[in-house]
Amino acid sequence: MRALWLCWALWALPLAGPGAALTEQQILGSLLQQLHLSEVPALKADVDGLVIPAHVRAQYVALLQRSHGARSRGKRFSQNFREVVGRFLLSEASTHLLVFDMEQRLPPHSELVQAVLRLFQEPVPKAALRRHERLFPRSDRARVTVQWLHIREDGSNRTSLIDSRLVSIHESGWQALDVTEAVTFWQQLRRPRQPLLLQVSVQREPPGPRGSDAHRLVRFASQGPSGGGQGEPQLELHTLDLRDYGAQGNCDPKVPVTEGTRCCRQEMYIDLQGMKWAENWVLEPPGFLAYECVGTCQQPPEPLAFRWPFLGPRQCIASETTSLPVIVSIQEGGKPRPQVVSLPNMRVKKCSCAWDGAPVPRKLEP
């Protein structure tokens, strides 16, 4: 009973920080979980003469080779800013299709921090405003929703919700919406990439027949009040230059790590043979290079206007990890038998700088 409680405690231990060194407890907990065991098995010391069959060895080598290539699943602070002017491709009633030519708009070796869509909301004529207030005295808001439009290779369309916010019919001027996720999706497309397509809809609030007609009064113009196309939709791209604000790759083994060391991947050897619980249980490997992320990340000198309020400072984290195959001895019919097990996220492949608490970007589905 005590051993069962101990195993549960190991699984319940909070994971170390995303860039922290791998612990013995994490390795043991992962191995027990993969084998669906509640405690370390009691094995006899007669495994020294145990022969690992050729097919088990081949499976282990294949997983080992695959793990080396597989990933799991970061301007001198001109907190680089670029503005892309788009155009209304189609406008029908309360739905608008916007197109932005994005090729070569994002600098190489840069990290997208935020993408902001700006639309110019026209003022509502006073006569229409008075009529609406007479019919709907308590409702003056509409919901603006932005979706990313993806045209698949087979010609079918798919939309992904990106941002949604309420606007008042009493407002006019530039409205800002966060479309960072749309640009992130666009970056995941295979080349040649299509232009960035955003579908903007103005809807009732609340939805359904109980809502007012305020959404009919919200208009986004392609011309500003002074003309000349100044009201065209704009896309602001905020990026960081990773040559200054990213990780440096592998650490220099000749230079000791200090508080001023830039984020890097440091070698760390895990000696499985030296772990008491692994005796007579883990047959291969005797140890492995796990690596860890060490050092610090340079912080931007000023906050971002559209930054999430809960974000912490940039930290050195493991952005890519790979699994570790091991051969263990299990009891079957009173006799030991070798078995291959793959432990996920055991080795760090890449370290990066990322904001603490930042949401993990969604992966683009096929």
Tell me: the pLDDT tens digits for 254-278? Answer: 888 888 899 999 999 999 888 888 8
Coil, strand or helix at 74: coil
Does the pLDDT value for residue 345 go beyond 70?
Answer: yes
Q: Where are the domains of the chain?
A: 17-74+246-355, 82-241
* Closest listed residue to residue 98, CA positions, set 185, 204, 179: 179
- Residue 182's pLDDT band, with cuts at 50, 70 and 90, is very high
At 310, list the tokens: 């809960």
For 96, other C-beta atoms within 10 Å of its C-beta total 21
d(CA 231, CA 123) in angstroms, rounded, equals 13
Asked if domains 17-74+246-355 and 82-241 share a fold, the reply is no
d(CA 15, CA 265) in angstroms, rounded, equals 19
Task: Tell me the per-residue pLDDT of 87-106, one tens digit each, with 9 for 90 and over.
Answer: 655 555 688 889 998 888 88
- Residue 309's pLDDT band, with cuts at 50, 70 and 90, is low
d(CA 177, CA 164) in angstroms, rounded, equals 8
Domain 82-241 annotated CATH 2.60.120.970: yes
- Residue 6's pLDDT band, with cuts at 50, 70 and 90, is very low
Q: Which of 11-20, 69-78, 130-139 has the lowest mean pLDDT?
A: 69-78
Does 341 or 70 have the greater pLDDT score?
341
Contact residues for 123 (Cβ-Cβ < 8 A; gap 6+) = 172
Architecture of the domain spanning 17-74+246-355: Ribbon (2.10)
Contact residues for 240 (Cβ-Cβ < 8 A; gap 6+) = 77, 79, 80, 110, 111, 113, 246, 300
Q: How far is CA 214 from CA 131, 293, 300, 316, 342, in A?
A: 11, 53, 41, 47, 57
d(CA 56, CA 339) in angstroms, rounded, equals 7
Does the pLDDT value for residue 7 go beyond 50?
Answer: no
- 279: buried, middle or exposed (CB in 10 Å: 19+, 13-18, 0-12)? middle
At 253, list the tokens: 């083994």
d(CA 107, CA 346) in angstroms, rounded, equals 33
d(CA 122, CA 220) in angstroms, rounded, equals 6
Predicted local confidence at residue 90, as pLDDT: 56
Residue 22 DSSP class: P
Rounded-to-5 percentages of helix, strand, coil across the chain: 20, 35, 45
At 117, list the tokens: 């869509």
Task: Tell me the per-residue pLDDT of 102-160, one tens digit each, with 9 for 90 and over.
Answer: 888 888 888 888 899 999 999 998 888 888 888 887 788 889 999 999 988 888 888 89
